[in-house]
Structure 1
Amino acid sequence: MRPIDLAREHGLSAQAIRNYDDAGVLPPAERSDIGHRRYTPLHAQALRAFLALRGGHGHQQALEIMRAVNRGDTESAYRLIDAAHVALQAERDTRAEVAAALDSLSSAPAPVRGRPLTVGELARRLGVHPATLRTWEAEGILHPDRDRATGYREYGPDCVRDAEIARQLRRGGYPLHQVARFVESLREAGGADALSTFLDSWRDRLAARSRNLLAGAAQLDAYLVLL
């Protein structure tokens, strides 16, 4: 087969096939007397495997997997694949923690108006010791501003909201690292309602990546059978 024969199946150009060949996606190909590359069904399956792997692993990692397989180092290829699944599981666990924390909130904190609160005022509002607020700050849960003149901490509306959420979650038994993850996700999403929508789309993205990893594994397995 010629480069264009491999390319047509995927809507690629012949030059793209040559580039993938040079990058190590394909196993070594024979050359004709005048230097043209000659491909076989083995090369066609290698290309299918790479393109499928790319959907779940991304371009660079898919490239590294194929390079490892083509040089006979399947152990390295398996390690890369395993690492992707471990990372996906960790992300899935994080999403589950954030979703559970959102469900556990009894109510959204009422917005705070007026001047920022001092550490003592916020501590009294929450019924906690000021040292607790400093611990939450050290864990990344709170990010108070500082008064330019005195250097004292100032807790504005967003910071008070985060502190009240942290108090609810801590009373529910959540460890500090999970509270920090939830509050950070809440900030990035822009509020509880937006976070709920974000969690739905996050779940869909995780499911799609799981399917892509499975599809890539199936095509790679078909390639390994041919080697």
Structure 2
Amino acid sequence: MRPIDLAREHGLSTQAVRNYDDAGVFPPAERTETGYRRYTPLHAQALRAFLALRRGHGHRQATEIMHAINRGDLDSAYRLIDAAHASLLTERGTRAEVAMALGTLSTAAPPISPGPPLTVGELAFRIGVHAATLRSWETEGILHPEREKATGYRRYGPDCVRDAEIARQLRRGGYPLPQVARFLDSLREAGGEDALTEFLEAWQERLARRGRDLLAGAAQLDTFLTLLDHR
């Protein structure tokens, strides 16, 4: 088989196939007397496995998995695969935690007597972060505390406290500050419940899609490993 034969199946360029070969995605290939690469069904399956793995693991990690297998280091390949599944499991747990926390915070009726606003130190202690973290969240547009006219000190009312709780949960879930700010903006605009539902549903769909992609990659990789064993 020629590079073009492998490329056509996936709508790739022949140069892309050569690049994958050079990166270690394929097992060693024979060459003709004129230097052209000669591929076999084993190489074709290696490409299928790599492309399937890439959907769930990303380009870099999929390359590392295939490279490890092709140099005979199955343990390293399995460790990379296990780490991806462990990461997905952790994120599933984080989403469940966020759903519970956000659902409680966004649907709970505000207390009749909320009490005085919190200082930056009081709020930091309440949610378990540094005061400097709250100030950075303000810079990113996540929090909008009021200021005392006389002193300029920050004061965090009930809405600001709720936003800080949400931000803490999302940051624990690995979301970058700009994304946290966008979510809180949409949450405020929508009144809370609609934005919350849409956000959590999109998160769940992403988790399900990645889980399916990891399974598809594992299936193609298993076929490749079976061919290797037979060889």
TM-score (normalised: structure 2): 0.75
Q: Where does residue 74 of structure 1 map in the other structure? A: 74
* Aligned length in residues: 201
Distance 1:207 1:98 in 2: 17
Please list, as runs of the form range in 1=range in 2, the aligned pairs for 1:103-122 lying within 5 A after superposition.
103-105=103-105, 107=107, 121-122=116-117
Distance 2:74 2:171 in 1: 41
Distance 2:161 2:109 in 1: 9
Distance 2:146 2:225 in 1: 57
Q: Where does residue 138 of structure 2 map in the other structure? A: none
Identify if the C-alpha distance between structure 1 residues 148 and 38 changes in structure 2 by more than 3 Å, giving closer, same or farther: farther
Q: Where does residue 218 of structure 1 map in the other structure? A: 219
Q: Where does residue 97 of structure 1 map in the other structure? A: 97
Q: Residue 181 of structure 1: which of 169, 173, 178 is its match?
A: 169
Please list, as runs of the form range in 1=range in 2, the aligned pairs for 1:47-196 lying within 5 A after superposition.
47-105=47-105, 107=107, 121-122=116-117, 133-136=123-126, 138-139=128-129, 144=145, 150=151, 152-155=153-156, 158-162=159-163, 180-181=168-169, 187-190=181-184, 191=187, 192=192, 193-196=194-197
Distance 1:162 1:156 in 2: 10
Query: Which amino acid in 2 is paired with 1:189?
Result: F
Secondary structure in structure 1 of the residue aligned to 2:107: coil
User: Which whole-Å deviations, capped at 9, do the CAs of 1:57-82 have from their partners, x for residues lacking one?
Assistant: 00000000000000000100000000
**Root mean square deviation of aligned Cα:** 3.2
Distance 2:171 2:108 in 1: 13
State the 1:161 CA deviation.
4.1
User: Which whole-Å deviations, capped at 9, do the CAs of 1:143-186 have from their partners, x for residues lacking one?
Assistant: 657669746332267414437xx5xxxxxxxxxxx983069887
Distance 1:100 1:60 in 2: 34
State the 1:56 CA deviation.
0.1
Identify if the C-alpha distance between structure 1 residues 156 and 6 changes in structure 2 by more than 3 Å, giving closer, same or farther: same
Matched-pair identity in %: 63
Query: Which amino acid in 1 is paired with 2:153?
Result: Y
State the 1:189 CA deviation.
1.6
- Contact 1:162-1:183 within 8 A present in 2 as well: no
Distance 1:147 1:137 in 2: 22
Query: Which amino acid in 1 is paired with 2:99?
Result: A
TM-score (normalised: structure 1): 0.76
Identify if the C-alpha distance between structure 1 residues 152 and 87 changes in structure 2 by more than 3 Å, giving closer, same or farther: same
State the 1:100 CA deviation.
1.9
Q: Which runs of 5+ in 2 are unaligned?
A: 135-142
Query: Which amino acid in 1 is paired with 2:183?
Result: A
Identify if the C-alpha distance between structure 1 residues 145 and 122 changes in structure 2 by more than 3 Å, giving closer, same or farther: closer
